[in-house]
Amino acid sequence: MVDLEGLELTAEEREILRHPAVGGVILFSRNYFSPGQVTELVQSIHAAREPRLLVAVDHEGGRVQRFREGFTVLPAARRFGDLYEKNPGSSCQLARTAGWLMARELRAVGIDFSFAPVLDLDLGVSKIIGDRSFHSAPDPATRLAHEWLLGMRDAGMAATGKHFPGHGAVVADSHVDIPVDERTFEDILMQDIVPFERMIGYGLAAVMTAHVIYEKVDKLPATFSPFWLKEVLRERLGFQGAVFSDDLGMEGASVAGDMVARAEAALAAGCDMIPVCNNPPGTRQVLDSIVWQDRPNGHLRLARMHGRQPLQRQELLADPQWKQAVEKMARLADDTTILSL
């Protein structure tokens, strides 16, 4: 999975998208100006190859929402967790509405999927996770994430739970550091893995890995660990969906070596798709050097990530369900009405 420089494809990027090892594109804020512009960009990406490439974005809400102007500004996941303490039923309904709204707005510009929801628990130490987490406890976090998944599914989008097996218990940010989690496997299994295990049972289509070393379990970050991805995720939890690594350009991935070594290690460990972002030389290095192997099972798993229920933006804006969802998110931002939702 590769990224792009700007608002439209360059000649070099069109060439890169035709490389047989490229299976998808992830968009960032730099790739967005307006709904119309990003629709044209997505159409040009989809037209570059057959079968078409996947197009994804990080669009959770709160701090992590790449498209703003022309899109509903969504609250951070923890907003639903705070409401859950006061009114669990209302909170779950709103989480489902938000998942639907997020997915439907993205589907209206052609995006296949968003890397959401976050399944990490907010254990009070990780600033990079923090309010991106629904809750600190497994049960409410799972219940809210399940509703979010159902909303996404209703809108024609597959859900991706992140960051397996859990990023919420480390202070360090894997974007700029190499986080080390000192807990035992039993502690992680009884806490962080619970939302992943239950969401797998609910039909979770994909997970994204954590660039975290769980030193009492394995010396390798989960992204590069056959133990975590094959023995735990595939065999113990029975997960049959797609596995995405987190961005291999992050510092947390540096322990595996250069970009080619990182790519090879992640694929060998069990990842189906590996985002390589914000590093054009690194992207080229991987594409030029990696030994390309066809992976039929991986293709089947990734095929589930293509968006369904296509629609035009005009259809979305005329939809009464969309208008009601936007109103609910606006009311959720107002503390004075939180208990009446």
- How many domains, the chain? 2
Question: Is the Cβ–Cβ distance between 62 and 56 less than 8 Å?
Answer: no
- The Cα diameter of the chain in Å comes to 58
> Is 100 in the same domain as 235?
yes
- Residue with structure tokens 């397996």? 164
Q: Is residue 16 assigned to a domain?
A: yes
Residue 65: what pLDDT? 96
**172-177 average pLDDT score:** 78
Q: Is residue 232's pLDDT more than 90? A: yes
Q: Is 294 a catalytic residue?
A: no
177 with 326, same domain: the answer is: yes
Q: Residue 252 in contact with residue 212, Cβ under 8 Å? A: yes
| pLDDT tier at 335, thresholds 50, 70, 90 | low
Which listed residue (120, 122, 246, 247) is catalytic? Answer: 246
User: Are 217 and 270 in a shared domain?
Assistant: yes
pLDDT for 340 beyond 50: no
* 62 occurs within a structural domain: no
Same domain, 155 and 6: no
In a domain, 65, yes or no: no
Query: Do 142 and 37 share a structural domain?
Result: no
Q: How many CA atoms lie within 13 A of 109 on its CB side?
A: 27
What is the domain-level CATH number for residue 255? 3.20.20.300
pLDDT of res. 293 = 73
How far is C-alpha 57 from the geometric centre of its chain's CA atoms?
8
Q: 275 pLDDT exceeds 80?
A: yes
Full 3-state SS string of the chain: CECCCCCCCCHHHHHHHCCCCCCEEEECHHHCCCHHHHHHHHHHHHCCCCCCCEEEECEEECCEECCCCCCCCCCCHHHHHHHHHHCHHHHHHHHHHHHHHHHHHHHCCCCCEECCCECCCCCCCCCCCHHHCCCCCHHHHHHHHHHHHHHHHHCCCCCEEEEECCCCCCCCCCCCCCCEECCCHHHHHHCCHHHHHHHHHCCCCEEEECCCEECCCCCCEHHHCHHHHHHHHHHHCCCCCEEECCCCCCHHHHHHCCHHHHHHHHHHHCCCECCECCCHHHHHHHHHHCCCCCCHHHHHHHHCCCCCCCCCHHHHHCCHHHHHHHHHHHHHCCHHHHHHC
- Tell me what the mean pLDDT of segment 175-202 comes to: 94
Catalytic one of 175, 258, 288, 299: 175
Q: Would you say residue 94 has pLDDT above 50?
A: yes
* Beta carbons of 198 and 139 less than 8 angstroms apart: no
47 and 101 belong to one structural domain:
no
Domain annotation covers residue 63:
no
**Do 186 and 134 reside in the same domain of the chain?**
yes
Residues 255 and 188 in one domain: yes
Residues 163 and 25 both lie in one domain: no
Whole-number mean pLDDT of the chain? 94
- Asked whether residue 68 is domain-assigned, the answer is no
Residues 26, 118, single domain; the answer is no
* Catalytic status, residue 299: no
| Position 316 in a domain | yes
Q: Is the pLDDT of residue 182 over 70?
A: yes
> What confidence score (pLDDT) does residue 153 get?
98
Same domain, 29 and 112: no
pLDDT at res. 333:
78
For residue 261, what pLDDT band results from cuts at 50, 70 and 90?
very high
Q: Are residues 238 and 328 in the same domain?
A: yes
Residue 76 has pLDDT above 70, yes or no: yes
Q: Read off the pLDDT band of 222 (50, 70, 90).
A: very high
**pTM higher than 0.75:** yes
Residue 286, pLDDT above cutoff 50: yes
Residue 108 in domain: yes
Question: Range of 174's domain?
Answer: 73-340
Are 206 and 54 in contact, with CB atoms under 8 Å apart? no
Percent of the chain with pLDDT over 70: 98
323, part of any domain:
yes
Neighbours of 56 (CB within 10 A): 24
| Mean pLDDT, residues 254-263 taken together | 93
State the pLDDT at residue 290. 82
**Which amino acid makes up residue 87?**
N
pLDDT band at 172 (very low <50, low <70, confident <90, very high): confident
Share of the chain above pLDDT 90, in %: 88
CA 48, 49, 51, 56 dihedral sign is negative
